[in-house]
Amino acid sequence: MAASDDSFIREVNEALQQDRLGLLWRRYGALAIALAVGVVLATAGFVAWEAWKERRLQDQGAAFAEADALLQAKKPKEAADAYATVVADGGGGSADLARLLRADALFEAKDGAAADGALEGLAGEAGADPILRDAAAVTLAMRRLNDARPDELRAALTPLSEAGRPFRFTATELLALVDLRAGETERARGLLEGLQKAAGVPPGLKARTAELLGTLPPAPAPTPAPPDSPDLKDKP
């Protein structure tokens, strides 16, 4: 009877843990997507703007300004069309930046399918600027965080989380969220703890990961080592 009771208690505890993980995912998954998409696009846009502002032609600068004005005027569809003009007329980094910002405008216009297509094209283009290509790939993974299979998301995010990649901390945070969604609590804990210890992690991301760590179930106690076997030669 005691064994049956222990089995029942264990099943209840496992069910409660799965319910808690589901609650964590519903609470933080959408929040991470909403915050991180904007952070990645804004960061990528700023970096690219600084890198290329001296190299853009005057007509391209005017087109960027026009698109930005349309976006500020709450006309995202028209802004997306203006960025598409830059993509068609430009080349190199300026066109890549316009493709990324066009995806942002398409998000604002509630055209998620077109936005995902723009991101997918940029992320998969070998000749695109590496910073913008990674920004597109990370943003695309965020967009698919609730729908794609965990193994697909891990395959996309793991290279982006490697040392030296521009959005490695965001990619690592997303990998932890993928693990939480899949019920891999301890693997997620390891990634989140790594972000807490890593140098250079943005304060906002570090605060989010600390909060997530604080809501995880306690780590399982280490399994005690078995007692040493008696030395056979000591036996009578």
Q: Is residue 62 part of a domain?
A: yes
Q: Is residue 101 part of a domain?
A: yes
Question: How far apart are the C-alpha atoms of 95 and 214, rounded to whole Å?
Answer: 43
Q: Is residue 114 part of a domain?
A: yes
The stretch 119-133 carries a mean pLDDT of: 89
The stretch 35-48 carries a mean pLDDT of: 51
| 42 φψ region: left (φ > 0), alpha (ψ -120 to 50), beta (else) | alpha
Phi, psi of 28 (to 5 degrees): -105, -25
Which amino acid does the sequence have at 109? A
Question: How far apart are the C-alpha atoms of 59 and 36, rounded to whole Å?
Answer: 32
Question: How far apart are the C-alpha atoms of 173 and 191, rounded to whole Å?
Answer: 7
Q: Is residue 234 part of a domain?
A: no
Cβ neighbours, 10 Å, residue 226 = 6
| 235 φψ region: left (φ > 0), alpha (ψ -120 to 50), beta (else) | beta
pTM above 0.75, yes or no: no
At 206, which CATH number? 1.25.40.10
**Token pair listed for 8:** 């029942």
Per-residue model confidence (pLDDT) at position 31? 45
Per-residue model confidence (pLDDT) at position 186? 93
| pLDDT over 60 (residue 9) | no
Per-residue model confidence (pLDDT) at position 34? 46
Q: Is residue 77 part of a domain?
A: yes
CA distances from 102 to 40, 99, 170, 190 (A): 14, 5, 21, 36
Question: How far apart are the C-alpha atoms of 214 and 198, rounded to whole Å?
Answer: 18
| 202 φψ region: left (φ > 0), alpha (ψ -120 to 50), beta (else) | beta
Quick: pLDDT tens for 69-118. Answer: 898 899 999 999 998 988 887 665 678 888 888 998 998 899 989 999 99
Q: Is residue 202 part of a domain?
A: yes
Work out the percent of the chain whose per-residue pLDDT is above 70. 66
Query: At 40, is the pLDDT very low, low, confident or very high (cuts 50, 70, 90)?
Result: low
Question: How far apart are the C-alpha atoms of 103 and 91, rounded to whole Å?
Answer: 17
Give residue 58's domain range.
24-213
Sequence-separated (6 or more) residues with CB below 8 Å from residue 172:
161, 191, 194, 195
CA distances from 32 to 39, 173, 212 (A): 10, 9, 11
Q: Is residue 222 part of a domain?
A: no
Q: Is residue 10 part of a domain?
A: no
- Number of structural domains found in the chain: 1
